[in-house]
Amino acid sequence: MKIDLKNVSGKSVGSVDLDETVFGAEIHEHLLWEVVKWQRAKRRAGTASTKRIGEVRGSAKKVWKQKGTGQARQGSKQAPHWVGGASVFGPKPRSYEYDMPKKAKKLALRSALSLRASENKLVIVDKLELDGKTKTVAAAFHVLGSVEKKKVAKVLVVDAKNDKGEHNQALVRGSKNLPASQWLAAEGLNVYDILRHETLVLTAAALKDITAALTVKE
């Protein structure tokens, strides 16, 4: 499976072969949904908290005597039906995280990559050597994502570390202020970010790392 290799100006400078097991796999829509749900569950803070009857302020003394007042019997102003009273079955801090099999996560990532490839929304660029200015990076993302100037580019750019084990700091810095586009390290590629951006841009180095990590070994 061949695809054009482009430069930062969007011009074709050659072609690259895509692994069929990674970029031409069967698309499992339900599995994509499951993984997105799992990722979003992991990101939930789980910090919502309400006060139970032993935590609210106020006296636990009986409000008035049981009989003879002509009013309904009451036990305490800490009860839920009183203003300022306790909450019944309210939330408490908890973790929403749960586990998913590694095979399922890899299969979902291959499905997401294959989906973008089938939609012709996958772009492979030889390298991204930019000056780090937001304006320059935004212009490059518009070109690579084939987005009109008046529209907002929704591009996910994935780059790998260099030979020294360092990220492309100019690209990282220049993409921070973009409203809808995002930079990701190759090792941080995930289903949720692929699906929420219209175009996926991979550098040649990132393509190599991703293929090595997701290739199905027979």
Say what the pLDDT of residue 218 is: 57
Q: Which residue has the higher pLDDT, 164 or 14?
A: 14
Largest CA distance in the chain: 94
Q: By three-state DSSP, how is residue 3 classified?
A: strand
Q: Find, among 133, 207, 128, the residue nearest to 168 by Cα.
A: 128
- The two tokens of residue 215 are 């290739």
Contacts for 1 with CB less than 8 Å, ≥ 6 apart: 17, 18, 19, 20, 23, 24, 117
CATH code 3.30.479.30 for 2-44+99-214: no
Each domain of the chain, given as residue ranges in start order, spans: 2-44+99-214, 46-95
pLDDT in tens, 174-194: 988 888 999 999 999 999 999
pLDDT in tens, 126-154: 988 888 899 999 888 888 887 776 688 89
Rounded to the nearest 5°, which phi and psi values hold at 25? -80, 165
